[in-house]
Amino acid sequence: MPVAAATPDPPEPGQAHDQISRLAWLHFANDLTLDFLTPLLTAMVNVGWIGLMEGAADGIGQVLKLFTGRASDRQGVRAPWVRSGYVINAIARPLVGVGMLLGLPLWVVACRIADRVGKGVRGSATDALVADWADQDDRVRAFARMRTMDHLGATLGGLAAAAAAYIIALQHLWIAICCLVVVTLWVAQLARGLSDRRRVPAVPAAGAASATAAAAAPVGWWPRSPALRAPLLAIGVATMATKLSPLLVLAQVAGLPAHASQAPWPLWQVCLGWAALGLVQAGAAALAGVMTIRLGAAGMARLGWLTGALIFVGLSQCHGWGLVLVGAAFGILVGFTEGAEKTWIADRADQAERSLSFGALALITAITGLLGNALCGWLLVTWGPKAFLVMAAIAILGVLSSLGAGRPTAPAPAAG
């Protein structure tokens, strides 16, 4: 049943801090296991299939966010969706070890898709829950904290994967992956304590009956707020370049593609490169939280996209250690843009459609991100590293399409 417009109920002392901290640690634990597993996939899945597998799995998860986001808004709850999604993630990842033990690549792919289904279940509701518990003045810091904890978990996961790949023989890596069940228990404990922020019905001001009726209308399949159109368009255009799979970039830097001229890195070194990428992302996300307060969410997103354009130029021109450094700098693009884009959407979205708005963002970025990854993959085979120049041009096009979209349009004055 749709939920009428409501205002946040003042939380008990420390409750908001506890919920934000719990969500931050869930982000950390989730990315710890995800980024322990992801670079190890190169030992089980052919690099030629990585882009297809990652694109399909991520696409399924992103599309699912629209449906689960709508359901969350209609029910007026977030926490059950968040709990369920994180538990699905935590269960699917250790099961990859079974596929590695038995030599079943399709099992690994199925687990990867199940993992992204978990993300689809929780994704929109998680972002909405963060926005619910963080008042507008604290929202920038809250989203920056989530991204920072994401990438710190990714860094630790990558380092642990590098250590496992260096110490343990390839045929025994399944043991290390199965040990992720320990983190599964931690995730379950953290998720159990999540709760929704209570809302009390808003008292409409005189002459505001029509606005209240609109806010209480049934949640549709797309956010109704006109203020979201320009940000969604700009983010969608930029995403064709900025959501390029980091694993694809790492594979290029590590010499894994067939056209690379250098010798490929050993698996432990690929994992170490993944950890370095996560560390750069964490630092960039933390810095972005401070900069977004000064520049605004739209300005920070534009800065991230322009930075990405420069990085893509570097990827097209550099070789050797220069390519390694530019590849690590790709993490700056991710760290600068993720939190800013979500803050931009959260600030524009109506509270009653917040999960749906994040679902719409996920659907748009899934479609344009898949197109961008497919285009870049094809161009890498056809043109080689010069393909990244096209990605740079798309990122700049995203900046141009965002001009004038930084501030919401002021409402027209009431007649009379």
Mean pLDDT over 177-201 rounds to: 86
Q: Report the alpha-carbon distance of residue 91 to residue 119 in Å, rounded.
A: 12
> Using 50, 70 and 90 to split pLDDT, how confident is the model at 256?
low
Residue 297 burial by CB count (10 A; 0-12/13-18/19+): exposed, middle or buried? Answer: buried
The reply to whether 272 falls in a domain is yes
Quote the pLDDT of residue 87: 92
Percent share of the chain, pLDDT over 70: 81
Highest mean pLDDT among 24-38, 272-286, 356-370: 24-38
* Statement: residue 261 has pLDDT above 50: no
DSSP character for 228?
G
* Statement: residue 397 has pLDDT above 90: yes
Quote the pLDDT of residue 213: 42
Containing domain of residue 83, as a range?
14-197+226-402
Distance (Å) of CA 218 to CA 112, 128, 224, 300, 356:
34, 18, 11, 33, 12
The reply to whether 212 falls in a domain is no
Quote the pLDDT of residue 54: 67
Which residue from 286, 285, 258, 252 is spatially nearest to 270, judged by alpha carbons? Answer: 252
pLDDT tens digits along 305-358: 999 999 999 988 887 778 788 888 888 888 888 888 988 998 888 878 888 888
Q: Tell if the pTM clears 0.75, that is, is over it.
A: no
The reply to whether 376 falls in a domain is yes
* Statement: residue 257 has pLDDT above 60: no
The reply to whether 337 falls in a domain is yes
Quote the pLDDT of residue 359: 86
The reply to whether 216 falls in a domain is no
* Statement: residue 144 has pLDDT above 70: yes
The reply to whether 361 falls in a domain is yes
Q: What is the CATH number of the domain that holds 314?
A: 1.20.1250.20
The reply to whether 407 falls in a domain is no
Nearest 10 degrees: CA dihedral of 381, 385, 386, 389? Answer: 110
Q: Look at the chain and report how many structural domains it folds into.
A: 1
Q: Report the alpha-carbon distance of residue 280 to residue 342 in Å, rounded.
A: 20
Quote the pLDDT of residue 170: 81
The reply to whether 210 falls in a domain is no
> Using 50, 70 and 90 to split pLDDT, how confident is the model at 211?
very low
Quote the pLDDT of residue 1: 45
* Statement: residue 202 has pLDDT above 90: no
Mean pLDDT, the chain, rounded, equals 81
> Using 50, 70 and 90 to split pLDDT, how confident is the model at 47?
low
Quote the pLDDT of residue 194: 92
